[in-house]
Structure 1
Amino acid sequence: MENHINRRTFIKNSSLATAALASGSMAGPTKKKNKLPQWKGFNVLDFFSPDPAKSRPQTPEMYFKWMEDWGFDFVRIPMAYPAYLKFDRSKNIRIDEIRNIDTQMTDRIEQLVYWAQKYNHHVSLNLHRAPGYCINAGFVEPYNLWTNEQALSDFCYHWEFWAKKFKDISSKKISFDLLNEPSWRDDMNDQLGKKTKLEPEMYRKLIVAAYNTIKGVNQKHLIIADGNNVGNDVITGISDLEVAQSCRGYNPGIISHYKASWVYKDPESLPVPVWPGQVGDQYLSRKMLEDKFQPWIDLKNSGTGVHCGECGCFNKTPHDVFLAWFKDLLGILSENGIGFALWEFDGSFGLLNSGRKDVAYEDFQGQKLDRKLLTLLQKV
C-alpha cells in the first residue's frame, strides 16, 4: 500500500463508476443480510514486503488483544510470496525457485494467524504479491500471471500449501483472499499486444483454478476475491461459484492518497482536499460515495458476501477532512451490513503511530494512539 506502489491507474479508475453493474441500480434488489459477517478490523503488514530484510517489525501479540478489547474481530494478512521463499535475493527470482517454500518463514505466518485467532479475530490470508502479478512495483516477476500457464500453476501451488496448512480450521476463523487488487497494469505486455484492462474471462480463469485447488483440500474453506480493476469493480461471471468479494474504501483518491508520492507525480501541486466540497474539477460528497458503493450493495443484496478488505487515508490529508470523509464512507458500509479492514493498525494509514502533524496523540502503553479515529471506528 505504502511503499513503491504503482497506483496511478488505481486512483484514476477509483473515480469511475462501475458502469456494467451500476445501470439500473436505483431499482436494485431487495435489501438482504450480508452473507459474510460484518467483520471490522485491520490489515497487519508483517509479510507485505517481498524482501524480509525490509519487512515491518513483527506485530506483537498484545496488538491483537488491544484490537479485541476495542471491539474488533478481523485481521487481514497481505503476503508477498517471495517473503516466505528461499532463493538468491541478489538476483531476480527464477521460475524454478517459485516453489522453494521456507518453512521457517511460513511457521512465522502461522504463528501470526494463531495469535490473531487467540483473541477471537477472523483471519483473512491474502496473496498481495502472487507469482506473476502485484499492484506494487519493486520486484521483478519472471512471467505474467494472466497469460502464463506456469504462473497460474504456481499460483495454485501456493494456495494449495496454505489451504493444507489450515485444512482443519473452521471458515469462521480463516478465509483465503486470492489476489490483491487484480488489474492489467500498464507495464504488462504479452505476445497479444498491449491491453488496457483485465478482461473478466481472464480473472474468472484464475478464480476457478484457485477455487478448485482450495476446495479440493477442504470443501468448507471460505474464499474471497478482490474486485476487478484494482478492487474497484464488482467481479462479473462468477455467480456460479461460492466466492465472496472484497471492495476498497479509497474513493476519492484526492482524499485517501493526498500527497502520496507513489501515486501523484507532483504531490505538492494538489489542491487541498475538503469534505464535502469542491476540489479541483469535482464536487466531493456522500452522494458520490453512495454511487460508488451501489454496485457492491446490489451484489450483497443478490446473495454474494461482500467485505471491504482495505480502506483508510494517508497521513498527509488534514485530519478533520479525513474523519468527515471516513464517517460517511464507513456509514454507508455499516448501513448495508458490510464490514471493513483499515489499511494498517500501526503506521501512516493506521490507528497507532500514524505520524500526522495535526493530531494530539494519546500515549497508550508507549504507542501514539489516534483516539478520534478509534472512536469513529468503534461507532460504526
Structure 2
Amino acid sequence: MQRRTFIQHTGLLTAAVSTAGPAVFATSQPENVAKNKLPKWKGFNLLDFFSPDPAQSRKATQEDHLKWMQDWGFDFVRLPMAYPAYLKFDRSRNITPNEVYQIDQQAVDRIDTLVALAHKYKLHVSLNLHRAPGYCINAGFNEPYNLWTDQAALDAFCFHWNMWAKRYKNVSATKISFDLLNEPSMRADMNDQHSKRSTVPGDVYRKVAKAASEAIRKENPNHLVIADGNDTGTSVIPELIDLNIGQSCRGYNPGIISHYKAPWANKDPDHLPEPKWPGQVGNKYLSRAMLETFYQPWIELVNKGVGVHCGECGCWNKTPHDVFLAWFTDVLDILSSHGIGFALWEFIGDFGILDSRRTDVAYEDWYGHKLDRKLLNLLLKA
C-alpha cells in the first residue's frame, strides 16, 4: 500500500500547446486571479501499472470505475507507471542496462487499452513514469544506474518517452499529457529507501527534463509535458520556466497528516504524535497559514504564466477521518482558489474514495464497494 501524484476539463480547453510559448489552455477562475495555463483538472491516480512486477500489480481498473468518475464530474486520470512493468526480462535477477530497452508489446497494449477506455469517458490521461530508468521515490527494485549522473540512464529515459510519444503522436493535447518523472530528488543510494535525500541541482534537472521533452515533442510538437516539483514534488523548478513545461505540486504537506504511521515514509511509524488540524502536533502548530506559505511559490508560478497542477494528494487511512477532512478542505480550497486542479492518490484503496479500510468512516455501499461519501463530496466541491 505504498504511496507518496492531470485531465480534460470539458468545455474549458481552448487550444493546444505550442513550442513557441507557454501552454495555451483557458480555465474558469475569478477575474482577480491569474489564469492557470493548465485546466483545473480533477480526478484520480490509477495504479494498474504502479508495481515494477506485473505479478504484484493491483486489480485492473474496470470500465465502470471510469464511468463513475465521469458521472460524478471528474475529468482526469494520472497513470503512474513503473517502466519494468512493461518490459521483458529475467525477473529472478537484477535488470541490466540493456534489458531496459526490451519492451513487452502485450504489456504496452494493456496500457493502451486503459488509455482508450479513459478517453471513452472523456477523461484526460496523464502518463507518468513513477519509476524511470535510474530513479524512483520508492525502493523495492534494483536500478542499474542513476538518472541524474549517468548518461546511459538519461538515454534510456528519453527512449521510453519517445516510445510513448510515438504511440500517441496523433492524440490531441486536450486528451493526453506526459508527466516526466514522479517526485524527483537526489538520493545517496538509489536503491535504499531511507538513504539521505537532497535537492536535484537545477541545471541537472533542466538537462534531464529538456532532453525528455525534446524526445516527446520530436513526435508531436504540441504534446503537453509536465515536470514534478523538485524535492519529491514539493518545490518549484525555476530552471524550467522558459521550457514550455508545466509543473506539478503535491498535496501531502505536512506529512504528519498525510502519511501518519505510513511505514514507507517514517522510520519509526509507531511513535508519532497524534495528528490534529489545526493544532499543536509535536513541536509545530499546524494550521492553514502554514499551507498558505507552502503553496505561495506555486501560486507565484501560476502568476508567471507556468501551468500548475497537483498530480497527487490525499491521506493514508491511519489519520483520523475528521482531521483528514479538515486539513484536506484547506488544501483543496487553496489550490482551487488559484485554478489549480488535483488528482487524488488513489481511486480504490487506502487513500481512495472507495475501499479505504478506514475504521472511523460510515461507508455507503456502492455496487459492492465501500464509498467514503464525505470525501467524495469534498472533492466535488473543490
Normalised by the length of structure 1, the TM-score is 0.91
- Match of 2:285, SS state, is strand
Equivalent residue, structure 2, for 1:22: none
Cα RMSD over matched residues?
1.3
Provide the rounded CA distance (Å) in 1 between the counterparts of 2:230 and 2:268. Answer: 27
Equivalent residue, structure 2, for 1:321: 323
Within 5 Å, give how 1:334-353 maps onto structure 2: 334-353=336-355
Provide the rounded CA distance (Å) in 1 between the counterparts of 2:306 and 2:117. Answer: 29
What are the ranges of 5 or more consecutive residues in structure 1 without an aligned counterpart?
A: 8-29
- Match of 1:123, SS state, is strand
Equivalent residue, structure 2, for 1:267: 269
Within 5 Å, give how 1:26-105 maps onto structure 2: 31-105=33-107
Q: C-alpha displacement at 1:186, in angstroms?
A: 3.2
Equivalent residue, structure 2, for 1:204: 206
- Match of 2:334, SS state, is helix
Provide the rounded CA distance (Å) in 2 between the counterparts of 1:321 and 1:378. Answer: 19
Aligned: 1:362 with 2:364 = yes
Equivalent of residue 297 in structure 2, options 292, 295, 298: 295
Q: Residue type matched to 2:266 in 1?
A: Y
Q: Residue type matched to 1:311 in 2?
A: C
Provide the rounded CA distance (Å) in 2 between the counterparts of 1:139 and 1:279. Answer: 34
Q: C-alpha displacement at 1:211, in angstroms?
A: 1.2
- Match of 1:175, SS state, is strand
Q: Residue type matched to 2:180 in 1?
A: L
Equivalent residue, structure 2, for 1:229: 231
Q: C-alpha displacement at 1:188, in angstroms?
A: 4.0
Q: Residue type matched to 1:306 in 2?
A: V
Contact 2:143 2:190 in 1 (8 A): no
Q: Residue type matched to 2:363 in 1?
A: Y
Within 5 Å, give how 1:101-140 maps onto structure 2: 101-140=103-142
Q: C-alpha displacement at 1:263, in angstroms?
A: 1.6
Normalised by the length of structure 2, the TM-score is 0.90
Provide the rounded CA distance (Å) in 1 between the counterparts of 2:143 and 2:263. Answer: 23
Contact 2:139 2:190 in 1 (8 A): no
The CA deviation string for residues 73-105 of structure 1, in whole angstroms up to 9 with x for no partner, is 000000000000000000100111011000100
Provide the rounded CA distance (Å) in 2 between the counterparts of 1:262 and 1:239. Answer: 32
The CA deviation string for residues 203-226 of structure 1, in whole angstroms up to 9 with x for no partner, is 000011011111111000000000
Aligned: 1:158 with 2:160 = yes
Provide the rounded CA distance (Å) in 2 between the counterparts of 1:227 and 1:333. Answer: 15
Provide the rounded CA distance (Å) in 1 between the counterparts of 2:377 and 2:154. Answer: 43
Provide the rounded CA distance (Å) in 1 between the counterparts of 2:173 and 2:93. Answer: 38
Provide the rounded CA distance (Å) in 1 between the counterparts of 2:92 and 2:74. Answer: 40
Q: Residue type matched to 2:125 in 1?
A: V
Contact 2:44 2:77 in 1 (8 A): yes
Q: C-alpha displacement at 1:265, in angstroms?
A: 2.2
Provide the rounded CA distance (Å) in 2 between the counterparts of 1:356 and 1:100. Answer: 40
- Match of 2:264, SS state, is coil
Q: C-alpha displacement at 1:197, in angstroms?
A: 2.9
The CA deviation string for residues 328-351 of structure 1, in whole angstroms up to 9 with x for no partner, is 000000100000000000000001
Provide the rounded CA distance (Å) in 2 between the counterparts of 1:181 and 1:304. Answer: 18
Provide the rounded CA distance (Å) in 2 between the counterparts of 1:165 and 1:93. Answer: 25
Q: C-alpha displacement at 1:259, in angstroms?
A: 0.7
Q: C-alpha displacement at 1:198, in angstroms?
A: 1.3
Q: C-alpha displacement at 1:278, in angstroms?
A: 0.6
The CA deviation string for residues 7-41 of structure 1, in whole angstroms up to 9 with x for no partner, is 7xxxxxxxxxxxxxxxxxxxxxx841000000000
Contact 2:165 2:219 in 1 (8 A): yes
Q: C-alpha displacement at 1:239, in angstroms?
A: 2.0
Equivalent of residue 260 in structure 2, options 241, 258, 261: 258
Aligned: 1:171 with 2:150 = no
Contact 2:135 2:190 in 1 (8 A): no
Q: Residue type matched to 2:237 in 1?
A: I
Provide the rounded CA distance (Å) in 1 between the counterparts of 2:163 and 2:118. Answer: 20
What are the ranges of 5 or more consecutive residues in structure 2 without an aligned counterpart?
A: 5-31
Contact 2:262 2:316 in 1 (8 A): yes
Greater shift in the superposed pair: 258-267 or 137-146: 258-267
Q: Residue type matched to 1:136 in 2?
A: N
Provide the rounded CA distance (Å) in 2 between the counterparts of 1:154 and 1:264. Answer: 31
The CA deviation string for residues 282-314 of structure 1, in whole angstroms up to 9 with x for no partner, is 000001001000000000011000000000000
Within 5 Å, give how 1:212-251 maps onto structure 2: 212-251=214-253
How many residue pairs get aligned? The number is 351
